[in-house]
A = this chain, B = another copy of it.
Amino acid sequence: MELPPTLLETTTFVLHKVGVAGRRAVAARLAAETGLSLWEFAVLATLADTGPAAQREVGGRLGADPSDMVRIMDGLLREGLAARERDPADRRRYRVTLTPSGRRRLARARAAVAETERERLAPLSPDERAQLHGLVARLFHGAGG
């Protein structure tokens, strides 16, 4: 692909290409090494980072539709990576928790993601990687998610 200068000079364009390729790489490795989808990984990570939570709260954090959350959670339950029980204080809610098995799977997933990350960012020095992360993080927050 010998892209024309007009496109190569557009930061947004290159950024998008790199972002999509990166996401694909992470998703592929995650699936191959842990059997998890990106959404499943995100949910497990959320549970680990913020503790047990209602299904809707997890979905809200990740920007996932409640109806999609159900299906993601179904998969995690089926594999015993997460557990859910009704919240005694409000029985409409679930209290979703990470199981020990889920915690182990998450550890493997983190490693897979980190490894892919290392590969993809290999052209940059550690300083540059930190720079890049800082810049896109600012854009991320600046754009309101």
Residues of A bordering B, CB below 8 Å: 1-23, 25-26, 42, 45-46, 48-50, 60-63, 110, 113, 116-117, 120-124, 128-129, 131-133, 135-143, 145
Contacts and interface: CB of A to CB of B under 8 A. Distances in A.
B11 A133 contact: yes
Nearest to A42: B7
A120 B18 CA distance: 17
A13 B41 CA distance: 12
A124 B117 CA distance: 24
Given A6-B110, A10-B117, 9 more contacts: A4-B45, A8-B137, A14-B140, A16-B22, A17-B19, A120-B139, A123-B142, A124-B138, A132-B132
Nearest to A4: B49
Which among A16, A25, A110 has the highest number of chain B CB atoms within 10 Å?
A16
A59 to B, nearest CB: 10
A137 B14 contact: yes
Given A3-B61, A7-B42, A26-B12, A18 B123 contact: no
